[in-house]
Amino acid sequence: MTQAGGREFLSPRAPRINMPVDGSALELPAKPGVYLFKQVDGTVMYVGKATVLKERVRSYFSKNPDRKMIPSLVEESDVIDYIVTQNPSEALMLERQLIREHKPRYNSLLKDDKSFPFIAITSEKFPRIMYSRHPPNDATRWGPFPDAGAAKRVIQLLRRHFGIRDERNNLPFGYIETEESESYDQRINATKSVLDGDATILIESLQNEMDEHSQNLRYEAAAKSRDLIAAVQQTISQQIIHSRFYQDCDAVGFYSIGEMGTVVILHTKEGIIQGQVQYPLIHRGEIVESIALVLSEHYSSRKPPRRLLVPCAVSEWMNQWISERRGGAVEIRVPLRGELAKLRSMADSNAKFHAEMNSDKAYKNIEIMSVEDAMGLIDAESLAHIVCFDMAQLQGEERVGACISLRNGKPSKKEYRTFTIKSDSMDDLRMMKEVIGRWIKRQEIWPDLILLDGGSTHLSMMENLLQENNLENEIKYAALAKKEETLFIPGKEPIILDRRGRLFTFARDEAHRFVNKFHRKRRSRSSISDPLEEVPGLGAKKLQSLLRHFGGRKGIDHATLDELNKVPGIGNEMAKRIIEYLQ
């Protein structure tokens, strides 16, 4: 290895890894960096980034690769190169640079917004409205518009509503040709006013139209009017701010719904918003990380502006990289008041709009991805159906169990089941064995996996139960312990879950929520519920742990923050909530 620009890289004489190759034999570093799949002639087929090169590259040789393109990529490649970077952030930026340089066959390439179309009105005696990537030089134009479909619908609406000629110089149906230009000029001015942002009259007309359709039970027509209102609002939202502050400035907006985030970048030039680009992404929990990901991709193919408005402070390396991309200093700031803050707020509003529009589709994709990630993690042929069991009790009272069902990563609530314990068993392990035994007798088709809320002792219990029922070769099972989120699978080493295991943690948390809800319901009937259960996140199991530790309810009432912290399962945040509640 040699050093260049702070990065380690393979020298031209370094030995290549011939393909196909046994993934377990790969000798790669456990460091961040990028990897390149190549052919013998040097053609780069794919560039990827990794937090840990060794683990990521080996995943390409698993029996269940996480993407459909992987088998073809592996088959068509002859060697793998890699470049070690100092940190994952540097790997992210290097990946974008290598993709731009090599344009690999298997990589997705970013689209430059210069290809986005404009809405234009020509300067003729009877102006025409058109949708074009190259409008006439003397035309009045708005855009560019990343959402081509919305822009086209707005043009159709404007033509129909105001009677404007199209690109071929045809009037819409219902308007009569006339040599009088005064009326047409008024209609053109009204159209320009809408495109400049004043769509009040047009939207009110559409709302009245929608109400009329609804009152007459024409719901499909009402839905079309509703969609047209959304198209108008979406299109004109990119044109409503003019300011002397926006000479060369981009504003970054962010909004997330669950795990799905959307970043919007508004471009301004000469005091006018020129357009916007949106980036949907899986949001990892830290806004600064999601923003950094998008900025590195967005400005990898275009020159950054002099001023960049962001929702949160970015790291020093990102600031330095953006300045290098521009070839001069870039002012990156989080505006709190004034015109720049208004522009930043508008970017957030646009991000929220796009996030809400895409949320249903995005969640479906996340569910599918979580299943595929989990399959790769445990080398399973299918995890389309998972059933997860959990138990709850409080000092031996109201002993209950429950199971939830996930179909393709999504809760199938019609298959949720609750159980009350019929035996004299007092510990969770024996109670769970009873519940699963009763559940097994009612099933005709087995799920792909039964997941237990527990550890290695639960695996032994499940093994004995299946042997007793002659099902040891029929049902696959695993147990998930909350400590370090460790997954136990028969015959395999325990796995400490990372992001790829979110399907299992979701199933366990959903089972925990469901059984606690049933337990509270049972206890409320018997009037033995504890007021402490009103503390957010304090369920039956944690309350049981508190009672055991302090020897009763009175001990909890007089416990200090430090004493509560020592109770198994009670962290610092939960301890603070309990103290606040008691006080």
Strands 331-333 and 307-309: parallel
3-state secondary structure of 233: helix
Pair (391, 447) in one structural domain: yes
Pair (293, 229) in one structural domain: no
DSSP 326-386: HTS--EEE---SHHHHHHHHHHHHHHHHHHHHHHHHHHHHHHHHHHHHHHHHHT-S--SEE
Q: Judge whether 420 and 435 are in contact, CB under 8 Å.
A: no
* Bridge partners of residue 386, in order along the sequence: 406, 449
> Domain end: 213, 236, 259, which one?
236
Q: Judge whether 307 and 246 are in contact, CB under 8 Å.
A: no
pLDDT digit string, tens, across residues 287-318: 887 888 888 888 876 789 889 999 999 888 78
Please determine, for residue 128, whether its predicted confidence score (pLDDT) is greater than 90: yes
Q: Judge whether 432 and 403 are in contact, CB under 8 Å.
A: no
What is the structure's pLDDT at 573? Answer: 77
141 falls within a domain:
yes
Place of tokens 């949720």: 416
Pair (219, 284) in one structural domain: no
Q: Judge whether 503 and 477 are in contact, CB under 8 Å.
A: no
Q: What is the CATH number of the domain that holds 546?
A: 1.10.150.20
What is the structure's pLDDT at 152? Answer: 81
Write out the residue range of the structural domain in which residue 96 sits: 2-102
Round to whole Å and give the CA distance between 294 and 304. Answer: 13
321 falls within a domain:
yes
Contacts of residue 532, defined as CB under 8 A and 6 or more positions apart, other chains included, come to 538, 543, 546, 556, 578, 581
Q: Can you tell me the mean pLDDT for 37-63? A: 84
Pair (69, 95) in one structural domain: yes
Q: Which of 55-69, 268-282, 470-484 shows the lowest per-residue confidence on average (mean pLDDT)?
A: 268-282
367 falls within a domain:
no
The listed range with the strongest mean pLDDT (22-31, 67-76, 363-372, 465-474) is 465-474
For residue 61, give Cα distances in angstroms to 34, 37, 58, 279, 381. Answer: 17, 13, 6, 30, 15
Q: What is the CATH number of the domain that holds 35?
A: 3.40.1440.10
pLDDT digit string, tens, across residues 520-565: 777 665 544 556 666 666 766 677 777 777 766 667 777 788 788 7
pTM of the model as a whole = 0.37
What is the structure's pLDDT at 284? Answer: 59
Q: Judge whether 262 and 255 are in contact, CB under 8 Å.
A: yes
379 falls within a domain:
no
Pair (393, 515) in one structural domain: yes
- Angle in degrees, CA 424, 430, 432, rounded to 5: 110
State the DSSP H helix or E strand holding residue 479, giving kind and residue range, or none if neither: strand 477-481
Q: Which residue has the higher pLDDT, 405 or 102?
A: 405
Burial of 226 (0-12, 13-18, 19+ CB in 10 A): middle
Taking residue 462's Cβ as centre, other Cβ atoms within 10 Å add up to 23
The DSSP call for residue 415 is: G
What is the structure's pLDDT at 3? Answer: 31
Pair (345, 411) in one structural domain: no
Please determine, for residue 39, whether its predicted confidence score (pLDDT) is greater than 70: yes
Q: Which of 149-153, 239-243, 342-346, 377-381 shows the lowest per-residue confidence on average (mean pLDDT)?
A: 239-243
6 falls within a domain:
yes
What is the structure's pLDDT at 498? Answer: 82
Q: Judge whether 261 and 355 are in contact, CB under 8 Å.
A: yes
What is the structure's pLDDT at 461? Answer: 92
Instruction: For residue 374, give both structure tokens.
Output: 């989990």
Q: Can you tell me the mean pLDDT for 67-77? A: 81
Instruction: For residue 73, give both structure tokens.
Output: 């990529």
Q: Which residue has the higher pLDDT, 389 or 573?
A: 389
Pair (119, 230) in one structural domain: yes
The sign one gets for the Cα dihedral 532, 534, 540, 543 is negative
Pair (90, 125) in one structural domain: no
Q: Judge whether 186 and 150 are in contact, CB under 8 Å.
A: no
Residue 398: which region, alpha, beta or left (left: phi > 0; alpha: psi -120 to 50)? left
3-state secondary structure of 508: helix
Round to whole Å and give the CA distance between 547 and 556. Answer: 7
Across the chain, mean pLDDT equals 78
Pair (166, 253) in one structural domain: no
378 falls within a domain:
no
Contacts of residue 318, defined as CB under 8 A and 6 or more positions apart, other chains included, come to 89, 292, 295, 296
> Domain end: 209, 236, 263, which one?
236
Q: What is the CATH number of the domain that holds 266?
A: 3.30.420.10
Q: Judge whether 343 and 265 are in contact, CB under 8 Å.
A: no
Q: Outline where 237-286 has alpha helix (H).
A: none
Q: What is the CATH number of the domain that holds 433?
A: 3.30.420.340
- Phi and psi at 419, nearest 5°, equal -140, 140
Whether the bond into 304 is cis, omega within 30 of 0: no
Contacts of residue 77, defined as CB under 8 A and 6 or more positions apart, other chains included, come to 19, 37, 38, 39, 45, 46
Round to whole Å and give the CA distance between 36 and 29. Answer: 14
Q: Which residue has the higher pLDDT, 542 or 166?
A: 166
Pair (19, 95) in one structural domain: yes
Q: Which of 23-32, 144-153, 427-436 shows the lowest per-residue confidence on average (mean pLDDT)?
A: 144-153
Number of domains in the chain: 5
Q: Write down the number of H helices and E strands in the chain.
A: 17, 21
The DSSP call for residue 576 is: H
Sheet holding 79-84, edge to edge: 2-4, 7-9, 79-84, 33-38, 44-50
Pair (448, 572) in one structural domain: no
79 falls within a domain:
yes
Pair (67, 38) in one structural domain: yes
3-state secondary structure of 118: strand
CA 204 to chain centre: 35
What is the structure's pLDDT at 528? Answer: 47
Please determine, for residue 239, whether its predicted confidence score (pLDDT) is greater than 50: no
What is the structure's pLDDT at 26? Answer: 66
3-state secondary structure of 214: helix
Please determine, for residue 207, whether its predicted confidence score (pLDDT) is greater than 60: yes
Per residue in 377-391, is it b (16+ CB within 10 Å) or e — as a string? bbebeebebbbbbbb
What is the structure's pLDDT at 465? Answer: 92
- Phi and psi at 131, nearest 5°, equal -120, 110
3-state secondary structure of 325: helix
307 falls within a domain:
yes
Q: State percent of the chain over pLDDT 70.
A: 78
> Domain end: 466, 488, 519, which one?
519
Round to whole Å and give the CA distance between 384 and 545. Answer: 34
Q: Residue 47's closest CA among 84, 82, 88, 87?
A: 82
State the DSSP H helix or E strand holding residue 521, giving kind and residue range, or none if neither: helix 502-525
